[in-house]
Structure 1
């Protein structure tokens, strides 16, 4: 019997003209994007799992800081990186390219000491969900400031 796992995707950026977000998350995304060779990172989202043991290092521990999806979405293509941010370190999980739907898994993740890691099939399910629901990766509407 095939079991499904539940997850959600939440954009961490807001504003369409000049997207902004939490400075710590944005700086992390910028560093990862530079490392991965992305000159312009315009998408950043948090991936949350119903199972709290996913990406947890020690039994009963709090999951590592965040599982993030970051990258570039253009008119006809996109490249997204799935990674874990923990303090000052990162674990690269996978990269997914669209429209060819190619996914590359990284040894960083397969070699990481975690209680519950996503399988390649689950990573593919995450990327397929994102590609079918690209609106979830869009920055949230910006906030209007009112002067009194």
Structure 2
């Protein structure tokens, strides 16, 4: 099928899937890092990468949704999870590690900065990749 719109979404979905997995791996690596400044990597870097992963996961599922709407959706989810942590419920449940990773256990206002930075990175990567795709299309 040579429909340019179809090809764009197909390529976009593949790229989004790959980037989502890459950022997810980086989030897990940040949680498992045990070197210098491990506490910063564990507390903030994982949050930075996980929102970027969620952004590209959403891009994979809904490729036609605009950047701003994806940012708002992922930011809203991150804020809800962070505020849920403030209730103390996630910590009191003593969940297995994978669920602790998803829900978190401690409220930290600085996490919002990590979320914002991660979403800015994801949107910048998304925009850059989209611009590069348009430039390549114009070459033909």
TM-score by length of 2: 0.34
- Greater strand percent: which structure? 1
Higher helix content, 1 or 2: 2
